[in-house]
Structure formats: structure tokens, C-alpha cells
Amino acid sequence: MLHEFVTAEGLVILKSSLLRDTDFNHGFSTRIGGVSLPPFASLNLQSSRANADLDSAARDAESNLEENRRRFARACGVDASLRIAEVSQVHGCEVTTSRAALASRQFADAITSAPGEAAALIRIADCVPILIACRATGIVAAIHAGWRGVVAGVVTRGIDAIVARGAIRDSLLAAVGPCIRAEKFEVGAEVAEAMAEVALGECITAPSKSNGKMHADLVRAVSIQLERASLSASRIDADPPCTHADAERFFSYRRDGLCSGRLAAIIAPRH
């Protein structure tokens, strides 16, 4: 289960009971408690690189982003001395390490990290953030999964990557953070066909009578993939709030377009 926490600065974050009870410093952001001005009010966690590439009307002040990142990391228990690894997310299935991400720009959608290494951070604005942790070894992963990443197998590849680094499957825990839920995620036939090709057709609802649109349940899809990777349902937190439906607490690109800020999820390896 995800629980809401409010800091002295008024920052609101969500934490997984599974990860918190096993002493992993982590968190999922909301849009509350930062310093950004509308339309990015207020905890916009957009990356500096992506922000610089935007047109001026869709760009936040870099000083705001720096302060927001500082507040978020501190709220999640990530010490100021611990570096934070991030990547350029491309809606694929590439996995990298925190060390590689700190050394050079990485185009990937999952980051692994081991004790003694950096915290791992991914950004979302509707896609599914997944934090993975190994109770036995302290190894972690942060995964960004949109429908393309789900179909490409980023969840499975992320788990395989931390197992290759020494994580133990029977000790893995997973937390799924705020994302667009099925009721709000209308998709076309190409998405439905792609999901069916990877045995996730059950995550597509039939076209509605009102507008003929199908809907995709990405939370169910990643939960299925986690279970296929040997995580039992009791080791998965997977009932997150909907980013699109809750404009007060969350950014949503599908709802707000270029005026949408970015949410983030972070996890630090346990030392």
C-alpha cells in the first residue's frame, strides 16, 4: 500500500509500506510542496536537459527545478551526499547501471544500483514508475514503463538485470507508483494488438458503447509481468492513484500536454 507523507516544508510524497518496512529510502512525488509557478505548480521534477530543450512557454526556471529536486530527495531520505543517477528515457527496454548513468548520458528506461552506489531516479507524467528492491542484498532498480516499454519487456529486463548483479528473486519487492489508470487511458487498435502479442490481451477492455474506445490497464500489465518474474502478489504494491484523474495532486501529460510538469520516483540501495 502507498501512504502519503507531508514534510515540514509542505512537500507531499507517497511511500510503499513494503519498501518502508524493509528500510529502503524511496518515494513517489506528487505535485505539492515545490517552488515552481503555474502551470508547473509546484513540485515540477523535470530534468534540466529536457527543460532546456522546451520552448520558453513550456519551460520552468532551472533554479526552481534544482530546489524541487533537493526537497524531493530529502523527503525520501536520500542524503545530500549521495549522488542521484538519472537517464534520458526513451520508452524502450534498455537497462543501465547508476554508475554508467553518472559517467555519461544513457538512453534507457531502467536503472539498477547496488550498495555503495547512487540512488536511482526516473520521471513520469502518466507512465508507470516501478521501484524494485532486494531485501537480502540491498540492490535496487527504478523502472519507467509506458505501454511501449511494457510491450518491449522493460519490467522483465529490469528484474533480470538486478538478478544478474546478485539480487535474489525470492527476496524481491516491488512498488508501483502513480500513473494513468485504465479508466482514463484510451488506446487504439495498435496498442491492443501489441499487448496481445506479449500475452497481455486481458489488460485491454472491450470498446465502450459510448465512444467505441478501448482502454489499457498498465498497472495490471506490469503486475502480471512482475508475477511472471517470480514476485508473488504479496510482494507487490500495485494500487496506485491515477495521475490523470487527480489534477490537484499529480501532473499528467495526457491531460495537460506541454503544460504538464513531471513527477519522479526514487530509490536508494540499502547499505
Q: What is the pLDDT along the chain (271 residues), one digit of tens a residue?
A: 899 999 999 999 999 999 999 999 999 999 999 999 999 999 999 999 999 988 887 899 999 999 999 999 999 999 777 899 999 999 999 999 999 999 999 999 999 999 999 999 999 999 999 999 999 999 999 999 999 999 999 999 999 999 999 999 999 999 999 999 999 999 999 999 999 999 999 999 988 767 778 999 999 999 999 999 999 999 999 999 999 999 999 999 999 998 899 999 999 999 8
Position 146 scores a pLDDT of 97
Among candidates 114, 13, 244, which has minimal Cα distance to 3? 13
Position 66 scores a pLDDT of 95
Position 54 scores a pLDDT of 85
Position 208 scores a pLDDT of 73
Position 62 scores a pLDDT of 95
Position 57 scores a pLDDT of 75
- Cα angle vertex 30, ends 102, 96, to 5°? 25
CA distance 257 to 242: 16
**Cell numbers at 270, concatenated:** 540499502
Position 7 scores a pLDDT of 95
Judge contact between 252 and 126, C-beta under 8 A: yes
Position 206 scores a pLDDT of 85
What pTM does this model have?
0.97
Cα-flanking dihedrals φ and ψ of residue 235, to 5°? -110, 20
Is residue 229 helix, strand or coil? coil
Position 212 scores a pLDDT of 78
Position 81 scores a pLDDT of 75
Mark out the alpha helices in the chain (DSSP H runs): 17-21, 48-53, 62-75, 98-103, 147-152, 154-164, 189-197, 218-228, 253-256
Position 207 scores a pLDDT of 82
The fold adopted by the segment(s) 2-267 is CNF1/YfiH-like putative cysteine hydrolases (3.60.140)
DSSP class of residue 146?
Answer: -
Position 55 scores a pLDDT of 84
Peptide bond into 42 cis (omega under 30): yes
Cell 500475452 sits on residue: 199
